């Protein structure tokens, strides 16, 4: 890409093509929780629930949502759960948003500049998403006479305005853990979880995520100060065996620290409310993205310095350091020697 993307010109329903054949495709995601709405003990039928929910979306919003874009997972310990506890959870994905772009454009007055145009589209998009959440949250679905109640909400990782409000409040009230050198610090680091490792790997070299490839991809948003890439099994460990999620061990976690606050905001806003797709692949990676609240890179540096200070003053000839063995496990993700020079600006 010749020019970095801008959150001021990118429409909320617009796909962004980035490096390595990857695309960020807009979608609406709702988290679902299913409770019983009567005294029946009949098990939940996932297929009937999906059919009933698709009918509701069709009649209420004229939306056609494939059943594959509705994920429902029953809790395994239903016999041990209380009657008021949820019986299942899941997610709803609305991926076809083309009608929103056409509708919004036709309602906007001609003659205003591009920035205002995007802001107006964004306002309408968020308003429409809010209406879908409000009408879906609390509905009751009758499945062959058995009633279930749904709660719906937007994930925190899809709510850019909510995250920005959070860090602005932390900054305003002087959170102790959110300062550097006694000064309040604006956030500059994003954390991305749940993307396929092979999409960030060097082709025909390895299936492991590459620092070089990842750096090239995220450099599209601005100059990078620090980067960390590591395998992430968290989502895989929490997934059911038949859920169809990416297999545990094939996902990675990416932490990117930008030089400028503006570039950080652009990257986070663009990543919110989108899925990652790879050219030639049918897989849609519905990742989680947030801002770094814990000072990832600062903590890593402090931990390294603390370990160094605790080293006993042993004779060099009899001393075997444990550090090389630990570093070798992460060397392909966080090289400190030759490869890091390739990223020097």
Is residue 330 in a domain? no
Same domain, 62 and 185: no
Is residue 130 in a domain? yes
pLDDT score, position 121: 86
The total number of structural domains that make up the chain? 2
Same domain, 247 and 231: yes
- Please choose, from the candidates 154, 150, 146, 109, the residue with its C-alpha nearest in 3D space to the C-alpha of residue 128: 154
Other CB atoms closer than 10 Å to residue 285's CB: what's the count?
Answer: 18
- Please choose, from the candidates 13, 90, 3, 2, the residue with its C-alpha nearest in 3D space to the C-alpha of residue 44: 90
Compute, in degrees rounded to 10, the torsion defined by CA atoms 273, 195, 162, 154: 60
pLDDT score, position 300: 64
Q: What is the CATH number of the domain that holds 136?
A: 3.30.70
Same domain, 168 and 294: yes
Same domain, 71 and 169: no
Same domain, 140 and 265: no
Digit-by-digit pLDDT tens for the chain (345 residues) are: 446 566 568 889 999 999 889 999 999 999 999 999 988 878 889 999 999 999 999 999 999 999 999 999 998 876 667 778 899 999 999 999 887 766 555 554 444 445 567 888 889 999 999 999 999 999 999 998 899 999 999 999 999 999 999 999 988 876 544 555 445 578 999 999 999 999 999 988 888 999 999 999 999 999 999 999 998 766 545 444 444 444 545 899 999 999 999 999 999 999 999 999 999 999 999 999 999 998 899 866 655 555 555 555 545 444 343 333 333 334 334 444 434 444 444
Same domain, 169 and 295: yes
Residue that terminates a domain, selected from 154, 177, 196: 154
Same domain, 168 and 269: yes
Same domain, 161 and 277: yes
pLDDT score, position 184: 58
Burial class (CB in 10 A: 0-12, 13-18, 19+), 195: buried
Residues in the chain: 345
Same domain, 63 and 193: no
- Return all residues near 344 (Cβ < 8 A) that are at least 6 apart: none
Q: What is the CATH number of the domain that holds 195?
A: 3.30.70.330
pLDDT score, position 83: 74
Same domain, 147 and 174: no
Same domain, 130 and 188: no
Is residue 310 in a domain? no
The phi-psi region of residue 2 (left if phi > 0; otherwise alpha if psi is between -120 and 50; otherwise beta) is alpha
Residue that terminates a domain, selected from 138, 154, 170: 154
Is residue 227 in a domain? yes
Structural domain of residue 104, as residue ranges?
Answer: 28-154
Is residue 333 in a domain? no
pLDDT score, position 100: 77
Is residue 341 in a domain? no
d(CA 11, CA 313): 59
Residue that terminates a domain, selected from 120, 139, 154: 154
Residue 8 DSSP label: T
Same domain, 203 and 278: yes
């Amino acid at each position: 890409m010749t020019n970095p993307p801008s959150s001021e010109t990118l429409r909320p329903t617009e796909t962004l093509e980035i490096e390595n054949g990857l695309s960020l495709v807009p979608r609406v995601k709702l988290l679902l929780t299913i409770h019983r709405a009567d005294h029946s003990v009949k098990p939940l039928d996932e297929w009937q629930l999906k059919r009933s929910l698709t009918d509701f979306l069709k009649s209420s919003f004229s939306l056609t949502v494939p059943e594959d874009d509705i994920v429902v997972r029953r809790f395994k310990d239903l016999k041990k759960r209380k009657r008021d506890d949820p019986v299942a959870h899941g997610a709803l994905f609305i991926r076809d948003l083309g009608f929103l772009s056409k509708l919004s454009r036709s309602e906007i007055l001609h003659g205003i500049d591009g920035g205002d145009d995007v802001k107006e589209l964004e306002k309408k998009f968020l308003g429409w998403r809010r209406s879908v959440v409000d009408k879906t949250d609390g509905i009751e679905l009758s499945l062959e006479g058995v009633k279930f109640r749904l709660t719906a909400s937007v994930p925190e990782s899809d709510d850019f305005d909510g995250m920005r409000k959070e860090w602005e409040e932390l900054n305003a009230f002087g959170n102790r853990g959110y300062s550097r050198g006694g000064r309040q610090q604006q956030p500059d680091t994003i954390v991305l979880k749940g993307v396929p490792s092979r999409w960030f790997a060097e082709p025909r070299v390895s299936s492991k995520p590459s620092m070089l490839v990842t750096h090239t991809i995220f450099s599209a948003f601005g100059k990078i100060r620090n980067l960390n890439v590591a395998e992430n099994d968290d989502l895989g460990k929490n997934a059911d065996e038949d859920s169809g999620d990416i297999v545990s061990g094939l996902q990675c976690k990416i932490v990117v620290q930008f030089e400028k606050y503006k570039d950080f905001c652009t990257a986070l806003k663009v990543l919110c409310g989108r899925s990652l797709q790879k050219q030639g692949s049918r897989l849609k990676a519905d990742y989680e993205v947030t801002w770094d609240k814990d000072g990832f890179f600062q903590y890593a540096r402090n931990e390294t310095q603390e370990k160094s200070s605790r080293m006993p003053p042993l004779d060099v000839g009899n001393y075997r350091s444990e550090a090389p063995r630990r570093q070798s496990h992460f060397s392909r993700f966080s090289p400190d020697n030759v490869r890091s020079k390739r990223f020097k600006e």
